[in-house]
């Protein structure tokens, strides 16, 4: 066995059985020796992002969660939601998009050897595990002074926020709208936009969230629960000229209201009647699903509009590795400022299966985020 | 006055007053002499397309239509719909997207002079008029043997149908879906796709419409009113691989059902579970609004999807004049075959203001289309 290879380690698995049970468990998996271009990372910090929760808990009703031996957590998937789970039935899935930790073993390639003992961040799933083998070329070495917790959320949120700004530039828009804007990601986006001089309209769902964003310097913050929401939004769109929105909510009328307000803002500047509405393209990308109900579009905004899904991975594939690397380098350079993440609590692998703790991290409350340290307490 | 210039002619105008009245009238307008690069066309055939009806009748309730002196037709716009008319209040609008007729006067440029006495087709609005001045470079000379009626619908439907196929090619799809597929436009699209070998899934709304399309050789026709619709649609999508749809309906669940069926068809071929659904992009463009109710999207088709408005004019601007010219040349070459149009009745300008005739052409029934001949009976 290669120097430093622990031989095996615990990995969290999520399984949905055809019988309608979700089962979370820890299994001991073998760790093969790394290939010449690979490294073994001892994972010390991996965040629970909304995108992880979908895979981790599936459509299970977590009020039915109970502990069984193993340690193991089981919960029931409502029969009506089983159809959406068809693609993953009876396949134990490892979980955890991203994380950071120490390189404890390395393949023979000099690039891999050079990382031995260093703290690195990685992405690619199966991070809720004591050890994760990765390609040396795919990890991001953390800058001096950064901890594993600092680097744990290096990829998903920072690259998503940068991807939004980059998408705006590539698709010819000059300003942005963001919903659920007081989130960790939303705060990051504000810092990027302030630094880059990109006008940003933040849509939040409470007065307290308005305060969070104005405190970090946001100029345009509108509250969708306010009676003056549509007027406030239109005014902010007139001021910024934003014609591109990223929406984490998905369901209900919000995406359509944004398109309608963009159209109203554009028409305030129009000089002649066009039966098809403004010819300026208005776009909303849905990148999350905080509201899983249907999207309702009144189509009161002419014909120059688009709505669609947006995901980080296809975006990175579209821009290519060289452009992606530039974004990653910016994340590393600004890890403790623009891209700083804050966590509500650090939990171990076994704690991630405790129903009370699951209930806490599954609340998805704005500003709350949990960090798993698979080697907490020595693993 | 230039040779052939009649000096003046009747033009149909649509006016919506701030008081809430729609008023259709015929006004006599002066015809200036043509500029060197212009021609005067005596309009002999101009279709009433769905896109014309929106401008002609606005949001008026045509059951309130009544005749007053002039001749003039008036009707009431329901107060709740006046907001959507705000951009056009108290401005008399000429109507009629496209048409064909004889060139009766021409500017001094050789290109304009060469068209004298010829039958040409044109687009650009204000065709519901006895005479229309156009740039010589913008008209399409009709091929030998074609009448004005043959050439009246040269632009909107043929270029829209060709634009759908061209959009499919440019955006990397290999087959098409079309809704309200038994329409004049839908039949044209079938002829193009049969000729070009493009698989086409036709969605219609009755068994009779299935028959219309199978009679002209369509392979895939599914009836959205059938109990087996979703299964039939998915099967056709598996067979064709279509991932792009053009939807004339707009409202209700249909656009989302198409995206869901595309996803189901793609997943039948998938080998591994992806929590975000298929990574193949699925797109629906809404180009009409036969159902003006909201669009309802259940978002059950992963993240690689888009929905948006599609219009001919921005499409032509995007592909540029050289590519647009190729499409126009194809229309001229296949005017009496692929792009043949059939009309329910030919009416004069004054008849277009007769409430009984308005009720007939405003039914927008599949397969029915009216043609205005502004010079019917000598003008």
Our CA-based measurement puts residue A294 at a distance from the nearest CA of chain B, in whole angstroms, of 4
Per-residue pLDDT of B28-51, as tens digits, reads: 999 999 999 999 999 999 999 988
Structure-model confidence comparison of residues A130 and B290, the more confident one? A130
* Confidence bin at B365 (pLDDT 50/70/90): confident
Residues of B in contact with A251 (CB under 8 A): 299
Mutation for A interface: B294, B317, B318, most A CBs within 10 A: B294
Mean pLDDT of B105-126: 96
Note the pLDDT of residue B214: 96
Q: Nearest Cα to B115, choosing from B126, B127, B125, B105?
A: B105
> Which residues fall within 8 angstroms of residue A363, CB to CB, at 6 or more apart?
none
Mean pLDDT of A162-184: 96
Mean pLDDT of A364-379: 81
Please give the C-alpha separations between residue B104 and each of A45, B30, B110, in angstroms, as whole numbers.
81, 15, 15
- Chain A to chain B, count of Cβ pairs less than 8 Å apart? 93
CA separation for the pair B283, B304 (Å, rounded): 9
* Confidence bin at B342 (pLDDT 50/70/90): confident
Residues of B in contact with A311 (CB under 8 A): 276, 303-304
Please give the C-alpha separations between residue B349 and each of A36, A264, A312, B156, B165, in angstroms, as whole numbers.
82, 36, 56, 21, 35
Among all residues of chain A, which has the CA nearest to that of B92?
A: A273
CA separation for the pair A374, A102 (Å, rounded): 12
Per-residue pLDDT of A124-155, as tens digits, reads: 899 999 999 999 998 999 999 999 999 999 99
Please give the C-alpha separations between residue B205 and each of B224, B231, B266, in angstroms, as whole numbers.
5, 16, 25
CA separation for the pair B192, B198 (Å, rounded): 8
HSE, CB side, 13 Å, CA atoms: give it for residue A340.
6
Please give the C-alpha separations between residue A146 and each of A28, A53, A96, A372, B128, in angstroms, as whole numbers.
30, 26, 21, 17, 72
Element (H, E) at B76: strand B72-76
Mean pLDDT of A319-330: 92
* Confidence bin at B85 (pLDDT 50/70/90): confident
Q: Nearest Cα to B372, choosing from B159, B130, B183?
A: B130
Among all residues of chain B, which has the CA nearest to that of A83?
A: B300
Q: Nearest Cα to B184, choosing from B361, B363, B366, B373?
A: B366
Residues of B in contact with A310 (CB under 8 A): 303
Our CA-based measurement puts residue B35 at a distance from the nearest CA of chain A, in whole angstroms, of 25
> Which residues fall within 8 angstroms of residue A117, CB to CB, at 6 or more apart?
A102, A103
Q: Contact A294/B299, CB-based, under 8 Å?
A: yes
Please count the other Cβ atoms lying within 10 Å of the Cβ belonging to residue B261: 27
> Which residues fall within 8 angstroms of residue A81, CB to CB, at 6 or more apart?
A59
Note the pLDDT of residue A2: 85
Please give the C-alpha separations between residue B306 and each of B93, B256, B281, B289, B303, in angstroms, as whole numbers.
34, 10, 8, 18, 9
Query: Mean pLDDT lowest for which of A92-96, B222-226, B288-292?
Result: B288-292
Both structure tokens of B54: 């929106």
Question: Measured between CB atoms, does A315 come within 8 Å of chain B?
Answer: no
Query: Mean pLDDT lowest for which of B74-88, B125-139, B158-172, B175-189?
Result: B74-88
Nearest CB neighbour to A306, from listed B87, B275, B308: B308
Paired strand residues for A129: A11
Q: Are A254 and A225 in contact (CB under 8 A)?
A: no
Note the pLDDT of residue B68: 84
Mean pLDDT of B317-325: 92
Nearest CB neighbour to B314, from listed A275, A279, A298: A279
Nearest CB neighbour to B306, from listed A55, A88, A306: A306
* A379 pLDDT more than 60: no
Per-residue pLDDT of B163-211, as tens digits, reads: 999 999 999 999 999 999 998 899 999 999 999 999 999 999 999 999 9
> Which residues fall within 8 angstroms of residue B325, CB to CB, at 6 or more apart?
none
Mean pLDDT of B292-316: 95
Per-residue pLDDT of B200-249, as tens digits, reads: 999 999 999 999 999 999 999 999 999 999 999 999 999 999 999 999 99
Our CA-based measurement puts residue B68 at a distance from the nearest CA of chain A, in whole angstroms, of 26
* B84 pLDDT more than 90: no
Please count the other Cβ atoms lying within 10 Å of the Cβ belonging to residue A158: 25
CA separation for the pair B372, B375 (Å, rounded): 9
Note the pLDDT of residue B269: 75
- Calculate what percentage of chain A has a pLDDT beyond 90: 84
> How far from chain centre, in Å, is Cα A329?
19
Note the pLDDT of residue B379: 42
Please give the C-alpha separations between residue B288 and each of A119, B1, B39, B116, B160, in angstroms, as whole numbers.
56, 43, 32, 37, 11
* A276 pLDDT more than 80: no
Note the pLDDT of residue B244: 98
* A310 pLDDT more than 70: yes
Per-residue pLDDT of A26-43, as tens digits, reads: 999 999 999 999 999 999
Backbone angles phi, psi at A377, to 5 degrees: 70, 20
Question: Measured between CB atoms, does B208 come within 8 Å of chain A?
Answer: no
Looking at every residue in chain B, the average pLDDT score rounds to 93
Mutation for B interface: A303, A305, A314, A315, most B CBs within 10 A: A303
Q: Nearest Cα to B244, choosing from B259, B260, B256?
A: B259
Q: Are A281 and A259 in contact (CB under 8 A)?
A: no
Residues of B in contact with A289 (CB under 8 A): 299
Q: Contact A273/B307, CB-based, under 8 Å?
A: no
């Amino acid at each position: 066995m290669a120097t430093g290879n622990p031989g095996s380690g615990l990995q969290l698995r999520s399984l949905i059985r055809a019988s309608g049970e979700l089962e979370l468990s820890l299994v001991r998996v073998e760790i093969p020796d790394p290939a010449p271009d690979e490294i073994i990372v001892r994972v010390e910090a991996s965040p629970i992002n909304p995108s992880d929760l979908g895979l981790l808990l599936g459509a299970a009703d977590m009020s039915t969660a109970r502990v069984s031996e193993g340690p193991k957590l089981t919960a029931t998937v409502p029969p009506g939601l089983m159809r959406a789970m068809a693609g993953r039935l009876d396949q134990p899935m490892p979980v955890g998009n991203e994380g950071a930790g120490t390189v404890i073993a390395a393949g023979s390639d000099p690039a891999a050897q050079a990382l031995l003992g260093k703290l690195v961040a990685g992405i690619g799933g199966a991070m809720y595990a004591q050890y994760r083998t990765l390609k040396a070329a795919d990890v991001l070495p953390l800058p001096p002074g950064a901890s594993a917790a600092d680097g744990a959320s290096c990829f998903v949120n920072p690259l998503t926020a940068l991807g939004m700004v980059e998408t705006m530039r590539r698709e010819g828009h000059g300003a942005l709208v963001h919903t659920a804007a007081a989130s960790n990601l939303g705060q990051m986006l504000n810092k990027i936009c302030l630094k880059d001089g990109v006008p940003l309209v933040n849509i939040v769902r409470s007065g307290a969230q308005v305060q969070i964003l104005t405190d970090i310097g946001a100029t345009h913050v509108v509250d969708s629960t306010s009676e003056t929401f549509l007027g406030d939004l239109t005014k902010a769109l007139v001021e910024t000229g934003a014609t591109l929105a990223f929406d984490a909510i998905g369901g209900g009328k919000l995406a359509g209201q944004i398109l309608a307000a963009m159209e109203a803002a554009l028409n305030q500047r129009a000089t002649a009647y066009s039966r098809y509405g403004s010819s300026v393209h208005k776009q909303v990308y849905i990148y999350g699903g905080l509201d899983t109900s249907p999207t309702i579009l009144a189509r009161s905004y002419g014909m120059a509009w688009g709505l669609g899904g947006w995901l980080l991975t296809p975006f990175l594939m579209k821009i290519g590795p060289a452009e992606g690397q530039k974004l990653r380098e910016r994340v590393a350079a600004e890890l403790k400022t623009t891209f700083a993440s804050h966590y509500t609590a650090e939990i171990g692998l076994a704690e991630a299966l405790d129903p009370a703790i699951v209930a806490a991290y599954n609340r998805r409350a704005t500003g709350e985020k949990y960090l798993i340290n698979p080697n907490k307490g020595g693993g």
